[in-house]
Amino acid sequence: MLIFLLRRVMQACFVMIIISLISFAIQDKLGDPVQQMVGMSVSQDERNQIRNELGLNDGFFLQYWRFAEGAIHGDLGTSYYYKEPALDVILEKLPATLELAFCSILLVILVATPCGVLAAIKPKHILSRLLMIISSIGLSVPIFIVAILMVYIFSIELNMAPSFGRGQTVEIFGLWESGLFTKDGLKHLLLPSLTLAIALMPIFVRLIRAEMMEVLQSEYIRFAWSKGLSARRIYFKHALKNTMLPVITVGGIQAGTLVAYTILTETIFQWPGMGFLFMDAVSRVDTPLVSAYLIVVGGIFVITNTFVDLIYGLVNPTVRLASHGL
Amino acid sequence: MKYIKKDLLHPTSGNRWGHIVSGFVGDKLAMLALIIFLFYCLVALLAPLVAPFDIVDPAFMDLMNAEIAPSWISGDNRFLLGTDAQGRDLLSVILYGTRLSLTIGICAVLIQVTLGICIGLMAGYLGGRIDNFLMRCADIQLSFSNMMVAIVFLAIFQSLFGMARYQQLAMVILILVIGLTEWPLFARTIRASVLAEKQKEYVDAARIMGISSKRIMFRHILPNTLSPILVIFTVQIANAIVAEAALSFLGLGMPATEPSLGSLISAGFAYMFSGSWWICVIPSVTLIILILAMNLLGDWLRDHLNPRTYKD
Amino acid sequence: MKKKVIIVCCLALLFWNKATATTLRMAFDADPISLDPHEQLSEGTLQFSHLVFDPLLRWKQNGQFEHRLATKWERIDNLTMRFHLRHNVTFRTGNPFTAKDVIYTIERLKKSPDFRAMFDTIKSASMVDEYTVDVHSTYTNPLLLNIMTYVFPMDKAFYQNQDQIIKYGETFASRNVSGTGPFILTERELGSRMELKRNPNYWDTNSDGNIDKVILTPIRADSTRLAALLSGDVDFIFPVSPIDIERTKKIKGIQLVTLHSTRILLLHMNQQRRKEFQDIRVRKAINLAVNQSLIVDKILKGYAIPAGQLSPDRFLGHINNLEPEYDLTTALELMKEAGYEKGFRISMMAPNNRYMNDEKVAQAITAMLSRINITVDLKTLPKAQYFKEFDNRSADMMMLGWQSDTMDSNNLFEFIIACPDAKTGMGAYNASEYCRSYIDDDIRQANREMNPERRLRLMQQIERTLYNDAAIVPLYWQSLTWAAKDNVKIQDIVNDQNYPHIGDLFIEE
């Protein structure tokens, strides 16, 4: 067991080193950070001096070594623009992203579950056919088109919700800037979370439908029917419960999609979260921030993956055995 | 977007193509989707012949003609769908854009299929350590979504080649990036099918007869796993095209001088509310219809080839 | 009884309305990267300086100077200018404003990498008395006053001994600020929000400005920014993309103000990289093939002025009858004469997020050049990468936009036209590698010439030579467009340098 654990942790470390190398390698190529710091009339010499002070003229491996040394101590460099440790900047923006993701996932669950169930239990019904067609359309409309339509309809024409930013926030426990507790904050949250939810919704409606249909075919449901249980009890108690488990597993895999979609949504609505920070940092050539972001996101993936594996290994002995053989 | 292996399993054996064809005739929506898709393919193939203008001709881009509305509004019969901000005939640009988008989509998915088949077969048939290792890779790959990886990789490529070289290689790189990021979907499906097929007697028989495992894999097992591949194939092309459009929107896709549907949309984006809506709306509609047709086709194929889930 | 209650209520409401602070919410495309006014010479920084600091003098809309912290100035001799300072002005901290602060600020400007180039021409500043300062220049300098508009006195007692300027690290000055300006910074979240409140002790009591609170939000995307104005989330935005102007004009309750800026956009034809460009006929042909008016008309929707020279009309070097020409047949003939009838292939680079519609303009130019058989391989890059390529002179043709810091033609010539010289920094943005020593001599002479008449002749002479030589391809002078709600009277407070004087902004209730 211990060997299995060690092996997984070592794998995780290895992946992290590769991620850090890649994210560091692109640093130099985004553009010239010094160019962003100085005005147009500053001479080449002057700029070169700043490059020297920043150590940007050193060799790649020397620079990477410095970076790695800092990273081990939890220092991912200092953002050129924010002039604060890059890690702090990212963590500061984390609540905004998490709140956005959380709200849209909530929306997705609340809407997609009943839709998916309906489409599964009555596949021939006109409503579920309609649902499937709508979800097909939803799947086909790129998220950025959804976003601009939302802004146009709800923000400009109906004037119902603001189109950018996060609005008023309050601080909870002194460390979490939250927009969930002010009216203004919730209003600002409306459009981005709705957009994100609309982008994710069709995927989940289809997923739930497929899983549910699968479950409805299974032996124990047939057994339940023959036992004479009520339809509602069968659908919602027995079938749905067994549907949700694989849905959550697969939904977990979608986390990456979620991150990518968050980047898009945040960019369009100027939501001050991690995704917006990333795109902004790229355009500002704030290289320490860019690599720190990649490392943090990569790290989150690796850690969750490792944890899931470890838990699986603990719960399911076959996995453990197989891994022993690895 | 991503389909779990379960609903893709088990093709009907026997005359698969006959089965598909007969099904099509019965379903009008599927027929329509197929016709639309074929139409797009045809138009894309014949773009140089169909397009009213030659896009490489220097006279093609004339600022004098900028932002002319579609002919049913402006009454200008030269440009059926109007012109864009640079004075290019929108119809011609869209035709070529569709061609580019479809090429990127299909090529990328071909790469996915090739990789997926090889890896899936190997993992499923050989099992053991190799299986373990390959599926671990697939897990990692899947957990970073293709968009995420593509964003990072395109940024790397852009920097590696420099923006200038990148724009020349944009198409190849896009195909590679989208192609290399979604193979696990195929690999997993095929592996699952192989695991199921492997238990069957004909495989044992073949092995006893001394047929090499390579031959068993490709000649005997593979044909029996084609149905789910066909389904994913269709849907994945749609996904690849959307991915390319999204990347173009973020400025990581095709350059403005050589526009795909995605970069057309993103270029027209600024004109959305300025009155010249057609610059953005027409390419968007073109893209959406294409994707919709492909998704419907995929849906239908899945339902039709998978009798287990479509019996009710 | 009932009536009385209603009246009281109405009155209360009225008073309550009066009592609420007048807030201006504005969205610009960038926010200052630092609170230190000397860290970066950029639009964002200078806009910020006009909010929390006051300049000694500033430009009015009509191109004249307006007295601010300096009430009077006089020339003592060829090298010295005397400034009389305003009395009874205090900094945010309560420290009184005196001559010491002005001298301190000028000395600090001379240390700043960004401002140094401009302030090198000032030798020193000396105190005459508490409210009088003498500024000594190194040589006779006709532009001394123009440069002095960049002096925003800083609180010496506040900054002293902790005033280092570091571009990439945290400093005291980048986090703390004390100025005499109309507003006081209350809150700042870098990159997303800045809040300022009215300075209660502001000296300029004659100002119409009635804004108690300013909230500044940077919004990058043009469409998002405009949407924010239309949906009422903000009151005042800059810039408005030319594409959206027509539509915005039609909307009730929104006003647009457009001014012509002095920023010139141009194309460099690199003569070191391409021998074709050394032929004046080719350069002329290119100039004739590019249709500036059409670009302005179609891509910028008329919100720019087509340029046939570098100096905009408010600059001294401007020649009235130099208009851009467009003549395809002559251009083709010239190409034929030069022996390039079949044309040639060149590379071109342009930024895609630096100037208004830069990418589209570049694309249109490739189409125009293809008419005279020049095939252009166009690459557009984000600004962060573009200027690196620009420094390396990576393409045969490169796009550049330039705004003169001193509001004078000579600044354009120094950076864009003078022979490249790494030591002096002259010609730093001369990607034509066009070099005429007599132009350099004229530039140097114009820098010291005090007689406006002679100076005018010198600069017009340079402008004329450039035109006759077809040294570069001037494109257009960009326009600036602001949009605001009708009750926000921005008309009088914006200017062609884009430093809106928010302190004087009046909002109708």
Chains touching chain A at 3 or more Cβ pairs under 8 angstroms?
Answer: B, C
Asked if C57 contacts C106 with a C-beta cutoff of 8 angstroms, the reply is no
Return the residue in A14, A213, A258 with the most chain B beta carbons within 10 A, the one to mutate for interface testing. A213
Per-window interface: B 7-46 vs A, CB < 8 A: 7
Check residue B264 and give its pLDDT: 87
Rounded mean pLDDT, A153-158: 81
- Say if residue B306's pLDDT is above 70: no
Per-window interface: C 374-393 vs B, CB < 8 A: 378-382, 385, 389
Q: For B136-182, write each residue's pLDDT tens digit.
A: 777 767 666 666 677 667 766 766 666 556 667 788 888 888 888 87
Q: Which two tokens stand for residue B26?
A: 């019965």
**Taking Cα atoms as reference points, which of C347, C353, C413, C360 lies closest to residue C387?**
C353
Q: Which of A256-260, C78-82, C504-508 has the lowest mean pLDDT?
A: A256-260
DSSP A18-32: HHHHHHHHTGGGS--
Confidence at B246, pLDDT banded by 50, 70, 90: confident
Residue type present at position B164: A
Looking at the complex, report in whole angstroms how far the Cα of residue C337 sits from the nearest Cα belonging to chain A.
39
Q: For B109-139, write each residue's pLDDT tens digit.
A: 999 999 988 888 888 878 778 887 787 777 7
Kindly report the CATH class assigned to C22-203.
alpha beta
The reply to whether B129 touches chain A by the CB within 8 Å rule is yes
3-class SS string, C197-212:
EECCCCCCCCCCCCCC
Confidence at C122, pLDDT banded by 50, 70, 90: very high
Q: How long a stretch of residues is chain B?
A: 312
Q: Is residue B5 part of a domain?
A: no
Q: Which two tokens stand for residue A107?
A: 């929306």
Check residue A206 and give its pLDDT: 83
Minimum Cα–Cα distance from C384: chain B residue: B163
The domain over range C260-479 is classified in CATH as 3.50.50.60:
no
Point out the residue among B159, B299, B312 whose CB comes nearest to the CB of A30: B159
d(CA C295, CA C350): 15
Residue type present at position C348: M
- Say if residue A281's pLDDT is above 50: yes
Contacts of C352 in chain B (CB under 8 A): 251
d(CA C371, CA B57): 10
Asked if A23 contacts A278 with a C-beta cutoff of 8 angstroms, the reply is no
d(CA A268, CA A164): 8
Query: What ipTM was assigned to the predicted interfaces of this complex?
Result: 0.79
How many other CB atoms are found less than 10 A from the CB of residue B1? Answer: 22
Q: Do C41 and A280 touch (CB under 8 A)?
A: no
Q: For C392-431, write each residue's pLDDT tens digit.
A: 898 999 999 999 989 999 999 999 999 998 778 788 899 9
Q: Is residue B11 part of a domain?
A: no
The reply to whether A84 touches chain C by the CB within 8 Å rule is yes
Highest mean pLDDT: which range of A28-32, A182-186, B123-127, C160-164: C160-164
Q: Which two tokens stand for residue C110?
A: 């001379």
For CATH 1.10.3720.10, the residue range(s) in chain A are: 88-325
**Taking Cα atoms as reference points, which of A122, A54, A49 lies closest to residue A83?**
A54
- The greatest distance separating any two alpha carbons of chain B, rounded to the nearest whole angstrom, comes to 75
Q: Is residue B227 part of a domain?
A: yes
| Phi, psi angles (nearest 5°) of residue A207 | -60, -50
Q: For B48-64, write each residue's pLDDT tens digit.
A: 888 888 877 777 778 88
Check residue B7 and give its pLDDT: 44
Query: H/E element holding C175?
Result: helix C172-175
Cβ neighbours for A281, distance < 8 A, ≥ 6 positions apart: A79, A81, A289, A290, A293
Looking at the complex, report in whole angstroms how far the Cα of residue C193 sits from the nearest Cα belonging to chain A.
10
Task: Give the number of B-C residue pairs with CB atoms closer than 8 Å.
Answer: 73
Q: What is the span of the domain harbouring residue B103?
A: 27-46+89-309
Chain B positions touching chain C (beta carbons under 8 Å): 58-59, 61-64, 66-67, 85-87, 163-164, 167, 251, 255-257, 269-276
- Alpha-carbon distances, residue A253 vs B8, B124, B145, B146 (angstroms): 18, 21, 8, 12
Q: Is residue B56 part of a domain?
A: no
Rounded mean pLDDT, B65-74: 84
Q: Which two tokens stand for residue C344?
A: 């040639």
Looking at the complex, report in whole angstroms how far the Cα of residue C4 sits from the nearest Cα belonging to chain A.
35
Asked if A230 contacts A65 with a C-beta cutoff of 8 angstroms, the reply is no
Instruction: Give the predicted TM-score (pTM) of the model.
Output: 0.82
Point out the residue among A144, A213, A253 whose CB comes nearest to the CB of B309: A213
Contacts of A282 in chain B (CB under 8 A): 155
d(CA C4, CA C1): 5
Minimum Cα–Cα distance from B251: chain C residue: C382
Rounded mean pLDDT, B247-251: 76
Minimum Cα–Cα distance from C395: chain B residue: B164
Rounded mean pLDDT, C165-192: 89
The percent of chain C in helix, strand and coil, each rounded to the nearest 5, is 35, 25, 40
- Say if residue B299's pLDDT is above 50: yes
Rounded mean pLDDT, B188-198: 79
**In DSSP terms, which residues pair with C397 in a beta bridge?**
C269, C348
Confidence at A73, pLDDT banded by 50, 70, 90: confident
Check residue A322 and give its pLDDT: 40
| Phi, psi angles (nearest 5°) of residue C154 | -105, 155
**In DSSP terms, which residues pair with C159 in a beta bridge?**
none
Minimum Cα–Cα distance from C245: chain B residue: B274
DSSP β-ladder status, C472-485 and C254-269: antiparallel
| Phi, psi angles (nearest 5°) of residue A290 | -60, -50
Q: Burial code of C224-254, b = ≥16 C-beta within 10 A, e = fewer?
A: bbbbbbbbebbbbbbbbbbbbbeebeeeeeb
Q: Which of B170-184, C158-172, C199-213 has the lowest mean pLDDT?
A: B170-184
Rounded mean pLDDT, C290-309: 93
Greater pLDDT, A260 or C61: C61
Per-window interface: B 275-294 vs A, CB < 8 A: 284, 287-288, 291-292
Asked if A172 contacts A179 with a C-beta cutoff of 8 angstroms, the reply is no
Q: Do B62 and C367 touch (CB under 8 A)?
A: yes
d(CA A162, CA B129): 54
Return the residue in A4, A140, A267 with the most chain B beta carbons within 10 A, the one to mutate for interface testing. A140
- Say if residue C269's pLDDT is above 70: yes
Return the residue in C295, C298, C396 with the most chain B beta carbons within 10 A, the one to mutate for interface testing. C298
Q: What percent of chain A has pLDDT over 90?
A: 1
Minimum Cα–Cα distance from B57: chain C residue: C370
Q: What percent of chain A has pLDDT over 70?
A: 88
The reply to whether C368 touches chain B by the CB within 8 Å rule is yes
Confidence at C54, pLDDT banded by 50, 70, 90: very high
Chains touching chain B at 3 or more Cβ pairs under 8 angstroms?
Answer: A, C
Check residue C417 and give its pLDDT: 93
- Say if residue A54's pLDDT is above 60: yes
Minimum Cα–Cα distance from C368: chain B residue: B62
- Say if residue A321's pLDDT is above 50: no
Confidence at C213, pLDDT banded by 50, 70, 90: very high
Q: Do A144 and B292 touch (CB under 8 A)?
A: no
Q: Do A163 and C224 touch (CB under 8 A)?
A: yes
Highest mean pLDDT: which range of A43-47, A212-216, B48-52, C403-407: C403-407
- Say if residue B17's pLDDT is above 80: no
State how many domains chain B has. 1
Per-window interface: B 130-169 vs A, CB < 8 A: 132-133, 139-140, 142-148, 151-152, 155-156, 158-160
Helix ranges restricted to H, chain B: 16-26, 28-45, 47-50, 71-74, 90-126, 128-143, 146-181, 183-198, 201-208, 213-215, 226-249, 261-268, 278-305
Greater pLDDT, A239 or C65: C65
Q: Do B132 and A137 touch (CB under 8 A)?
A: no
Asked if B53 contacts B14 with a C-beta cutoff of 8 angstroms, the reply is no
Cβ neighbours for B219, distance < 8 A, ≥ 6 positions apart: none
Residue type present at position C91: F
CATH number of B211's domain: 1.10.3720.10
Asked if B266 contacts B101 with a C-beta cutoff of 8 angstroms, the reply is no
- Say if residue C156's pLDDT is above 90: yes
Q: Is residue B138 part of a domain?
A: yes
Confidence at B4, pLDDT banded by 50, 70, 90: very low
Check residue B12 and give its pLDDT: 46
What CATH code would you report for A88-325?
A: 1.10.3720.10
Burial class (CB in 10 A: 0-12, 13-18, 19+), C147: buried
Cβ neighbours for B285, distance < 8 A, ≥ 6 positions apart: none
**Taking Cα atoms as reference points, which of B53, B107, B95, B34 lies closest to residue B261?**
B95
Q: Is residue B81 part of a domain?
A: no
Check residue B159 and give its pLDDT: 62
Looking at the complex, report in whole angstroms how far the Cα of residue B263 sits from the nearest Cα belonging to chain A.
12
Contacts of C382 in chain A (CB under 8 A): 31, 283
What beta strand segments (E) does chain A contain?
170-172, 176-178
How many other CB atoms are found less than 10 A from the CB of residue C20? Answer: 10
The reply to whether C345 touches chain B by the CB within 8 Å rule is no
Contacts of B273 in chain C (CB under 8 A): 223, 244, 247
Q: Distance between terminal CA atoms of chain C?
A: 30
Highest mean pLDDT: which range of A51-55, B6-10, B143-147: A51-55
Asked if C393 contacts C270 with a C-beta cutoff of 8 angstroms, the reply is yes
- Three-state secondary structure call for residue B31: helix
Contacts of C378 in chain B (CB under 8 A): 257
Q: For B195-226, write each residue's pLDDT tens digit.
A: 777 777 887 888 888 888 778 777 777 777 77
Greater pLDDT, B146 or B233: B233
| Phi, psi angles (nearest 5°) of residue C136 | -105, 130
Looking at the complex, report in whole angstroms how far the Cα of residue B163 sits from the nearest Cα belonging to chain C.
7
Q: Do B140 and A305 touch (CB under 8 A)?
A: yes
> How do the domains of chain C map onto residue ranges?
22-203, 260-479
Check residue C436 and give its pLDDT: 92
Check residue A279 and give its pLDDT: 82
Asked if C133 contacts C83 with a C-beta cutoff of 8 angstroms, the reply is yes
